[in-house]
């Protein structure tokens, strides 16, 4: 796969180290990777405003002027596809990753054993964005990327497919529709299947999804959902 990878970190040695790991991984996996390094968020944005085709961003959380979290929030206003991997020395930033759909958090010191599996997942996610399902609309059917589906809700003989662009309703069982989904989706209730990428918060009784919708969770499912989300992250 042809990839465009950005590394944004104010520590030059860290940038070089991560670039070396990424380059070795790309060569081993036979990806054609262009790797760019940036010392500040503003430097990255200067290129990003002209070139929207970055695939993976390895992003330091703690940077002067504009933090990695601030940069990620700005990117997410228009770009849901970029795979963002936070690099940090502190667990306390973990919750910020939910807000910007971060692929993963890596704690310093980072090594190849930690980073390479995350890069593998980033490639899988990029490939899944190319996977689509057909959902009904008033005029027929429309192709929807799996990555853009937030959750699916069963209502009698219909399913409501909640996406980033809106809601599609079609006559089909939840089980039948779920046959088209991949491992990024998880059934949390007899009437709901959620996209793990779009979970923002979980409690013992419900899940907050992208856009703020609350999805109910079956009693006793908290542990399973948490484990699935932890494994996925």
Query: Which pLDDT value is given to residue 221?
Result: 93
pLDDT value, residue 80: 81
CATH C-level class of 132-232: mainly beta
**What integer pLDDT is reported at residue 92 of this predicted model?**
59
Which letter does DSSP use for residue 110 in this model?
P
Q: What are phi and psi of 157, to 5 degrees?
A: -95, 10
- Per-residue confidence (pLDDT) for residue 142, from 0 to 100: 85
CA distance 192 to 197: 15
- Give the residue carrying structure tokens 């491992």: 183
**Which residues does residue 140 pair with via DSSP β-bridges, in sequence order?**
137
**Three-state SS at 221:** coil
Low-confidence ranges of the chain (pLDDT < 70): 90-99, 137, 232-233
Which pLDDT does position 25 carry in this prediction? Answer: 97
pLDDT of residue 16: 96
Angle at 211 between CA 161 and CA 194, to 5 degrees: 45
The CA–CA distances, whole Å, from 103 to 14, 75, 76, 120, 121 equal 20, 14, 13, 11, 8
Q: Which residues face 87 on adjacent strands?
A: 60, 106
Task: Identify the pLDDT of residue 162.
Answer: 96
Q: What is the residue extent of each domain of the chain?
A: 2-128, 132-232
**CATH assignment of 2-128, among 3.90.600.10, 3.30.420.40, 3.40.50.300, 3.40.50.2300:** 3.40.50.2300
Pairing type for strands 185-189 and 56-60 reads unpaired
């Amino acid at each position: 796969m042809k990839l465009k990878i950005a590394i944004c970190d104010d520590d030059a040695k860290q940038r070089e180290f991560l670039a070396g790991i990424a380059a070795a991984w790309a060569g081993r996996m036979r990806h054609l990777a262009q790797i760019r390094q940036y010392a500040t968020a503003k430097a990255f944005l200067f290129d990003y405003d002209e070139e929207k085709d970055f695939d993976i961003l390895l992003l330091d959380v703690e940077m002067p002027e504009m933090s990695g979290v601030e940069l990620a929030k700005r990117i997410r206003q228009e770009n849901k596809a970029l795979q963002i991997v936070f690099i940090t020395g502190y667990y306390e930033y973990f919750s910020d990753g939910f807000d910007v759909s971060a692929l993963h958090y890596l704690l310093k010191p980072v090594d190849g054993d930690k980073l390479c599996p995350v890069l593998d997942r980033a490639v899988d996610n990029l490939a899944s964005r190319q996977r689509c399902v057909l959902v009904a609309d008033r005029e027929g059917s429309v192709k929807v990327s799996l990555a853009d589906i937030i959750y699916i809700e069963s209502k009698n003989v219909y399913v409501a497919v909640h996406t980033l662009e809106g809601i599609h309703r079609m006559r089909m069982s939840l089980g039948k529709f779920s046959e088209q989904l991949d491992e990024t989706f998880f059934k949390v209730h007899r009437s709901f299947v959620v996209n793990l990428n779009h979970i923002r918060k979980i409690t013992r009784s419900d899940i907050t999804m992208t856009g703020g919708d609350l999805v109910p969770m079956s009693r006793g499912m908290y542990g399973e959902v948490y484990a699935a989300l932890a494994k996925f992250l």
